[in-house]
Amino acid sequence: MGRGAGSVEAQLKTLSHAGVRIALDDFGTGYASLSHLSQFPVDLLKIDQSFVRDLTKKGEAAAIAAAIVNLGHCLGLEVVAEGIETEMQAARLLAMGCDAAQGYLYSRAVAAASVPRILAQWRQPVKAIAAS
């Protein structure tokens, strides 16, 4: 965001005041920094898929994901995990208190018109994954 941060901040505040929810994408990577949390009107943190991918393989990835969830909740933000591909990843994130998830485990990208059909066919609610 660098040089244009002042302009970005003004535009994001305008959108936020209009009711648009603002997500800080790829949080935990070099593109989204802690300073953005206080500079911009952020509503959601999105845990970068690189941490989700290594969640069950590397302790560092799990620690970072848990820290992002905790930080988000301490700031009153919703936390979304990106790139969930396995039920084990989903269960770990749910146990950490992650609020929402997206990834190929649930669906590939589809046209908006297809969403109602996909939701009607969904076989189990996300919360049930942690119980299995």
Give all domains of the chain, ordered by start, each with its CATH number.
2-131 (3.20.20.450)
Query: pLDDT tens digit string along 44-63?
Result: 999 989 999 998 888 899 99
Are the beta carbons of 61 and 96 closer than 8 angstroms? no
Entry pTM? 0.79
Q: What is the pLDDT of residues 100-124, one digit of tens each?
A: 999 988 888 888 898 888 778 776 5
Q: Give me the active site residues, please.
A: 82
DSSP per-residue letters across 72-112: HHHTT-EEEE----SHHHHHHHHHHT--EE-STTT-----G
